[in-house]
Structure 1
């Protein structure tokens, strides 16, 4: 099977190397296509960085791995779309995004470029997984090898799921991970944005830890308890529960 590896931390991220290595170890035919520079918080943006709409890419070398790799001047959502439409050598069987520096938990995953790439693949009928390592704002050294270890355990499960499934995997940044658990999305992520008003009509976004208590069974709570969490996601879909009778218009 062919795997496209991308991320939002950029082509030189060690998390990308860890994810690509795990995919190779699982027997997948790996191609890497990742942003040439940092693209965090871009969600599923498919806007080309170039004003012309063209997307530039260059060949790249991934340390320690003999795989085809591309540094792309685009956000991960666009890279995912290009791959699913046959770019970078053909449509992949699976798209893996990460390993992200920092957890992606709660409904705040909407803003994540890591998750956005996976959801874009899902919308284009490609099975996908976003992988994140729970390294805090002032956390210790990232345990990339531990994230890769968990990915190796989860990949066979992902590949047996129905076609075009999409999951988000979060790994605690500890040596002794307690195990794997399916998890609900928390209402918010563990890190939230606070808006501070400045002079001259400007505002500043400041990232702070959430002060809300963790709800048992959610990804944020299980991750804090030392478990790696998996959440199966559902992308854009119709919600009939909100529909009401409509007026006769035009009369």
Structure 2
């Protein structure tokens, strides 16, 4: 399953790119899912394995325990498993995204965390969510909500297909949770840990 982004022969398309304003900085466009790209980078596919990985900016928030399903957060956790520090960044564009999201705001807030991230132990992961507005304050530390403000619902099954829809979740959110603080217009940052075993389950 970890190689599902590769073709039948295991090959992944990679295209060398030149980034505006960053002459001489190696950059690659990779036809694969975020986690697989990070895994390839950790194995030296693009040069020395990275010490720090930035995943995002994602088009949509990644809050609550549903971050388990996020490709953006998953890539950061993959980096952690391979010894790198990682920052996952998401922009909360809501259910009706604007034509011109404030990407620059997400980038600016993320930049304020770089020094802090670099000072954390290898394997550390931070999850940053930024409101979609022209300016945003400093990120506030937040816990994971039990659920986010949006969830996925099955709308239709049959005819050889299913259709999914994003719907707003009703209910009160804890005041110190990422979902609540983000809904109030604050950037949020949460330290995450990768999958671990549960020693409390008797087998």
| Residue matched to 1:118 | 76
| Residue matched to 1:232 | 191
1:93 deviates by 1.1
Which consecutive residues of structure 2, in runs of 5 or more, have no partner in the other structure?
none
Q: Tell me, yes or no, if structure 1 residue 144 matches structure 2 residue 120.
A: no
| In structure 2, distance between residues paired with 1:201 and 1:148 | 41
1:176 deviates by 4.0
Closer, same or farther in 2 for the Cα pair 1:101/1:152, shift >3 Å?
same
| In structure 1, distance between residues paired with 2:132 and 2:82 | 32
Q: Tell me, yes or no, if structure 1 residue 159 matches structure 2 residue 139.
A: no
> Residue 112 of structure 2 aligns to a residue in which SS?
helix
Q: Is the 8 A contact 1:77 1:113 kept in 2?
A: yes
Number of residue pairs matched by the alignment: 201
Which consecutive residues of structure 1, in runs of 5 or more, have no partner in the other structure?
1-43, 247-251
| In structure 1, distance between residues paired with 2:79 and 2:182 | 25
Q: What TM-score results when the alignment is normalised by the length of structure 2? A: 0.91
1:126 deviates by 0.7
| Residue matched to 1:3 | none
Q: Is the 8 A contact 2:85 2:123 kept in 1?
A: yes
Closer, same or farther in 2 for the Cα pair 1:201/1:68, shift >3 Å?
closer
Q: 2:132 aligns with which of 154, 169, 173?
A: 173
Q: 1:184 aligns with which of 129, 134, 143?
A: 143
Runs (4+) of structure 1 exceeding 6 A deviation are: none
Q: Is the 8 A contact 2:64 2:145 kept in 1?
A: yes
Pairing 1:73-152 to 2, within 5 Å after superposition: 73-140=31-98, 141-152=100-111
| In structure 2, distance between residues paired with 1:169 and 1:152 | 11
**Farther off after superposition, 105-114 or 172-181:** 172-181
Deviations along 1:125-183, one digit per CA (max 9) or x if unpaired, are: 11111001111121333111111111121111111111110110111112342432111
Q: Is the 8 A contact 2:109 2:138 kept in 1?
A: no
**Farther off after superposition, 121-130 or 138-147:** 138-147
> Residue 179 of structure 1 aligns to a residue in which SS?
coil
Aligned-residue RMSD, C-alpha: 1.8
| In structure 2, distance between residues paired with 1:45 and 1:112 | 15
